[in-house]
Amino acid sequence: MKLLEGVRVLDLTNVLAGPFCCYQLAQLGADVIKIEVPKSGDLARQLGADPELNKHLMGASFLAQNAGKRSLTINLKNPAGKEVFRRLVATADVIVENFRPGVMDRLELSYEALKKFKRDLIYCAISGFGQTGPLKDNPAYDQIVQGLSGVMSVTGDKNSAPLRVGYPVADTIGGITAAFAVAAALFRRQRNSEGELIDVSMLEATLVTMGWAVSNWLIAGITPEPMGNENVTASPSGTFKTGDGLLNIAANQQEQFNRLCEIIGRRELANDPRFVNREDRKIRRQELNREIEVALAAKSAKEWSELFNKNGVPSGEVLSIPQVLQHPQTIQRDLIQRFGATPGIDRDITVLRSGFRLASGDPQAVTPPPVLGADTEKILIELGYDHDAIHELKQSGAL
């Protein structure tokens, strides 16, 4: 039995944070019903690097995080559509939405309104800034949140910062935070049958992950600064040039530094007055890095990585996305899930599984990402609608 088997989640979300949250729940066995706008659906269906997929409303961005879900199209502005949704809510355990604050209230589908149909409902609202506060009505995109959260201020180096992180980190963190909160609420509901209203702010979720940088200001009174590929807490700890490729080294402990010097054939560096003490190495990190890179030119990043790790010095190559997906570690851990010819696009697709493994059976999506509205009739029949009623709903514009 999967961890969330028997849990029904209504996914009203678009683009990234919400769909990513619900994808995690789907991989754990939840029955995730993706409720989409008729004809267009989730905006992510039109996003991604493959124009042909976008044209068929099966964009790569959508495929990345919607496997294992069923798709139902409902017009929530239509009275009959609202009634369908309320009927569905009565069968659900969780609702996840990422509209701007107030949208569900205006649709008369707020948490308070829906509790009448499902007393112990867990309702998770994901937004850029939360349901309260002066910014709550502002549109929120990942880059906006990255800038406001301080992430960009510590990304890059003194010449390039502030710099955006190279993927939608704020959206992703928001989704992970929401999935964690939903799982916790489900656990409590098992004990006391209580529902919950969850308010996830992408800004706050992102800021929380910056604990070390934030604490340097809150506790130590030091404003965090961009360090590029260097580690503010230690040296040598950062990215180094080798004879072939870049190498990350994290010799954060004195013993690791001593061992690194020995491995690269520069034992004298460990006794050099400039570098003997941890704080001295941090002050003179650029001088030390230059000395180390001269020695690293003798081998490739791959060779040095194997040698360092074998001898207790943490290190790793700097890889591209294609390289890491082809790495033996990724392959052996079976991180990539493959689906055969996927409806709507007639081609095989691959997606990433969840970031953890379970002794009882690893998380994975059971079905490929759905074509828009693929499961509408089947779900309505499950709710008790007959074919004539479904036809009427379509004629009314509810579906």
**Which of the four pLDDT bands, split at 50, 70 and 90, describes residue 238?**
very high
- Quote the pLDDT of residue 69: 98
- Written as one letter, the residue type at 165 is V
Concatenate the DSSP letters of all residues of 312-365 into one string.
T--EEE---HHHHHTSHHHHHTT-EEEESSPTTT-S-EEEE--S---TT-----
Burial 372-391 (b: 16+ CB within 10 A, else e): bbbbbeebbeeeebeeeebe
Statement to judge: residues 349 and 256 lie in one domain = no
| Residue 222 lies inside a defined structural domain of this protein | no
Give the CA angle between residues 328, 329, 331 to the nearest 5°. Answer: 60
Statement to judge: residues 246 and 187 lie in one domain = no
- Quote the pLDDT of residue 342: 87
Q: What percent of the chain has pLDDT over 90?
A: 97
Statement to judge: residues 74 and 143 lie in one domain = yes
d(CA 373, CA 34): 9
Residue 43 falls in which region: left (phi positive, over 0), alpha (psi -120 to 50) or beta: alpha
- Quote the pLDDT of residue 133: 96
Catalytic-labelled residue, pool 31, 142, 171, 375: 171
d(CA 178, CA 199): 9
- Quote the pLDDT of residue 154: 96
Would you say 67 and 337 are in contact if contact means Cβ atoms under 8 Å apart?
Answer: yes
- Quote the pLDDT of residue 346: 83
Q: What percent of the chain has pLDDT over 70?
A: 100
pLDDT digits over 165-210, tens only? 999 999 999 999 999 999 999 999 999 999 999 999 999 999 999 9
End residue of a domain, out of 318, 344, 359:
318
pLDDT digits over 300-357, tens only? 999 999 999 999 999 999 999 999 999 999 999 999 999 988 888 888 999 999 999 9
What predicted TM-score, i.e. pTM, was given to this entire model?
0.94
Statement to judge: residues 34 and 127 lie in one domain = yes
pLDDT digits over 243-302, tens only? 999 999 999 999 999 999 999 999 999 999 999 999 999 999 999 999 999 999 999 999
**Which of the four pLDDT bands, split at 50, 70 and 90, describes residue 4?**
very high
Concatenate the DSSP letters of all residues of 25-51 into one string.
HHHTT-EEEEEE-TTT--GGGG-SS-H
Mean pLDDT of the chain: 96
- Quote the pLDDT of residue 33: 98
Statement to judge: residues 134 and 269 lie in one domain = no
Name the domain count of the chain: 2
d(CA 239, CA 262): 19
* Prior bond of 162 cis (ω within 30°): yes
Statement to judge: residues 152 and 244 lie in one domain = no
d(CA 171, CA 209): 13
Statement to judge: residues 342 and 298 lie in one domain = no
Statement to judge: residues 193 and 256 lie in one domain = no
| Residue 375 lies inside a defined structural domain of this protein | yes
Question: Token match 């729940």: residue?
Answer: 25
Statement to judge: residues 313 and 343 lie in one domain = no
Q: Is 388 a catalytic residue?
A: no
Statement to judge: residues 155 and 251 lie in one domain = no
Q: How many residues would you count in the chain?
A: 399
- Written as one letter, the residue type at 262 is E
Residue range of the domain that includes 36: 8-209+332-396
Statement to judge: residues 294 and 339 lie in one domain = no
End residue of a domain, out of 261, 287, 318:
318
Statement to judge: residues 107 and 156 lie in one domain = yes
d(CA 121, CA 85): 14
d(CA 353, CA 364): 6
Residue 137 has pLDDT above 90, yes or no: yes
